[in-house]
Structure 1
């Protein structure tokens, strides 16, 4: 142990009360930093998980990001072009060459894709009608890209493959129409096709709007009902790493030409709100540690004032100003290290305690646990910021101690 460290420990031990107060400040600061940040980060990740899991990471549709220019406008770009009485062709919409595009998408690493045909239809039962969204899917592929199988409270996706006239609906729609498993309802498309479909599954996602308006059938049944044979108009893509969705979407769009939207692009406003919320959270919890650092500043400043004569003697014995500064900086480091260690232990206990709390939000029938984030980086951030704050609080007193003039002080003693 160096002599500077020994002197620093002696100073702190002899001022037990002020040292203890400084330590408590750092311990509580780190503990509350961890508790608050784990709650905020936990709620953020829980929200993103729900957002990401309940929606595709990437959606490729039969649309173009920038519409193609008209032929006449391309021919005369600087002219005043007006074309009258032109009736657009009534073409069958869909992704052209979807088999080749699906093969390309599935060749990319770390993703899974499923082709779907999505459109609006009218559901009729017992004299009641309602417009709903009909999604035609291949059950085996849909399981890989959607959590709808986990949301089913009755039936299964495989029932769609076993029953070509099967349909899966949400619990909200079932309650609204008085439907149950095995009920038969009529579904009409815009082309005039009408099919009687049997309910083979009921899901509940917790999103009332989705549960009342979303339905699923097999892809072949959707193509027949919508009169779009061998057509699909959407690829649903899930990634192993959702945060790469923007880059992967750009690659897919550049290769296929169709509009490819990542969940990050679709939720930019929400992500901005989360970013601002995190900035506010870290500012508040960091302020707690800054306030705790003032206790260290006060303790070390008092020691410097009381030990002025001792500092003068040390400098007259050959200690340089940097040696004196190291003594008091070491005191800040010691307080920061011990306070951070104890604060991490206390913070971990608080996080475990908060994780056991059960609450029942308004309008929710089930109890939920507070979401806690256990990532190691928040421990490093809390301990690191506490240590930096402690060293910053010790720097000014240490600098003042290094500027002590031993001749003037020793003459005053005489």
Structure 2
């Protein structure tokens, strides 16, 4: 019965003070809406940045790292050491020994979704007197497609035509444009090992990344081995994809137990990019949360004003048997009503903004504006909006609950 009366009093306060209620709810709506929108924006840019990374980078790569020279002889006394004045890199070859066995072992791991070998070489693309420098990548084109979705970026020709074709090559659109080449044309490719071959273009790709499109090409692994004068067992890098990129550090540690070679996850390789993403997310989250807190202070001020104006009514309620907890419930309920209405309106406002922005075409590699509705962010914004408005109502309500009815009624 008492609960029903508390609800009636709270609703009456909210309805009779329509202007203040609307102002408080509008403040919350703007705060929640901007919070939802800006965090969706940050999430969208982070996803876009990650997609750009995974166009060319696997979750984990295995390769032979450079080694620094060490003393030839050990010191005779344990308290002395040899000092190398001019340490040098001593790695003579980047070759992975018995790569096929290691690749099979990697593929047997339950957390590995795809794994492939690659042979890279420095390339010079020639057509007549025109010349461009770049990087050739020897791959199994079907495995390359499975790992990096290469087919999505093919704009001319057939990617599958490279399979088993020693004289075939897939080039970036920047190379094709600058050398005036098309599918079916021949291109002369030279390596830093003075090996030159005339290759036939079987496909052209464009990723939207100018550096990749102007430099990168794909050939078969056997062709790449010929460019660097190596035998059929030569492999320089193994690429591995996992079901959860965010857990790549753990997978990396497990793979490191299988091999003495360097195992590096994508987070280590792209630490600078991830640091920028984290900075942007923190900044946007702080700004949007600040706006939400300002809206909460609006509710706090309105309830404080209401309590000051209705101090006599509160004293009468307590004198007639209402407890301090009843007073807290009444004013907290008022705050929650205003906060709930404002939060729902804010989430609708934010959703509309997200829908509008997601339909704006930016062109280039970005495509449509990188923002999307995410239920997790929607739920987080809802809970945060209600929680902050609860806090904004609780503290003035707590103050009201401590009112001494005798002292107030004596005035």
What are the equivalent positions in structure 2 for 1:46-57 lying under 5 Å apart?
46-57=48-59
Per the alignment, do residues 173 and 306 of structure 1 end up closer, same or farther by CA in structure 2, a change over 3 Å counting? Answer: same
The answer as to 2:242 corresponding to 1:243 is: no
Corresponding residue SS for 1:17 = helix
* Corresponding residue of 1:103: 104
Following superposition, the deviation at residue 258 of structure 1 comes to 1.1
CA distance in 2 between counterparts of 1:100 and 1:332 reads: 66
Following superposition, the deviation at residue 162 of structure 1 comes to 4.6
* Corresponding residue of 1:166: 168
Following superposition, the deviation at residue 313 of structure 1 comes to 1.5
Per the alignment, do residues 223 and 124 of structure 1 end up closer, same or farther by CA in structure 2, a change over 3 Å counting? Answer: same
Deviation string, structure 1 residues 14-37 (Cα, Å, up to 9, x no partner): 111111111111122212222222
Corresponding residue SS for 2:162 = helix
Corresponding residue SS for 2:380 = helix
Q: 1:29 aligns with which of 28, 31, 53?
A: 31
Per the alignment, do residues 36 and 156 of structure 1 end up closer, same or farther by CA in structure 2, a change over 3 Å counting? Answer: same
Corresponding residue SS for 1:2 = helix
Deviation string, structure 1 residues 179-218 (Cα, Å, up to 9, x no partner): 2222223333344433221111111112222222211111
Per the alignment, do residues 140 and 290 of structure 1 end up closer, same or farther by CA in structure 2, a change over 3 Å counting? Answer: same
* Kept after mapping to 1: 8 A contact 2:339/2:386: yes
CA distance in 1 between counterparts of 2:398 and 2:82 reads: 76
CA distance in 2 between counterparts of 1:176 and 1:249 reads: 40
What are the equivalent positions in structure 2 for 1:228-377 lying under 5 Å apart?
228-229=230-231, 230-359=233-362, 364=364, 368-377=367-376
Per the alignment, do residues 204 and 18 of structure 1 end up closer, same or farther by CA in structure 2, a change over 3 Å counting? Answer: same
* Kept after mapping to 2: 8 A contact 1:4/1:327: yes
Following superposition, the deviation at residue 74 of structure 1 comes to 8.2
CA distance in 1 between counterparts of 2:77 and 2:221 reads: 44
* Corresponding residue of 1:18: 20
* Kept after mapping to 1: 8 A contact 2:121/2:227: no
Q: For this pair of structures, how many residues does the alignment match?
A: 404
CA distance in 2 between counterparts of 1:286 and 1:153 reads: 44
Per the alignment, do residues 351 and 75 of structure 1 end up closer, same or farther by CA in structure 2, a change over 3 Å counting? Answer: farther
In structure 1, runs of 5+ residues without a counterpart are none
In structure 2, runs of 5+ residues without a counterpart are none
* Kept after mapping to 1: 8 A contact 2:171/2:203: yes
* Corresponding residue of 1:392: 391
Corresponding residue SS for 1:292 = helix
CA distance in 2 between counterparts of 1:224 and 1:186 reads: 14
CA distance in 2 between counterparts of 1:367 and 1:265 reads: 24
* Corresponding residue of 1:382: 381
* Corresponding residue of 1:406: 405
Following superposition, the deviation at residue 168 of structure 1 comes to 1.2
Corresponding residue SS for 2:261 = coil
Following superposition, the deviation at residue 219 of structure 1 comes to 0.9
CA distance in 2 between counterparts of 1:385 and 1:30 reads: 8
Per the alignment, do residues 318 and 376 of structure 1 end up closer, same or farther by CA in structure 2, a change over 3 Å counting? Answer: same
* Corresponding residue of 1:40: 42
- Tell which deviates more after alignment, 116-125 or 268-277: 116-125
Per the alignment, do residues 410 and 117 of structure 1 end up closer, same or farther by CA in structure 2, a change over 3 Å counting? Answer: same
* Kept after mapping to 2: 8 A contact 1:34/1:351: no
CA distance in 2 between counterparts of 1:41 and 1:129 reads: 41
* Kept after mapping to 2: 8 A contact 1:39/1:370: no
Per the alignment, do residues 92 and 371 of structure 1 end up closer, same or farther by CA in structure 2, a change over 3 Å counting? Answer: closer
Per the alignment, do residues 120 and 139 of structure 1 end up closer, same or farther by CA in structure 2, a change over 3 Å counting? Answer: same
* Corresponding residue of 1:123: 125
Per the alignment, do residues 138 and 357 of structure 1 end up closer, same or farther by CA in structure 2, a change over 3 Å counting? Answer: closer
* Kept after mapping to 2: 8 A contact 1:73/1:81: no
The answer as to 2:93 corresponding to 1:72 is: no
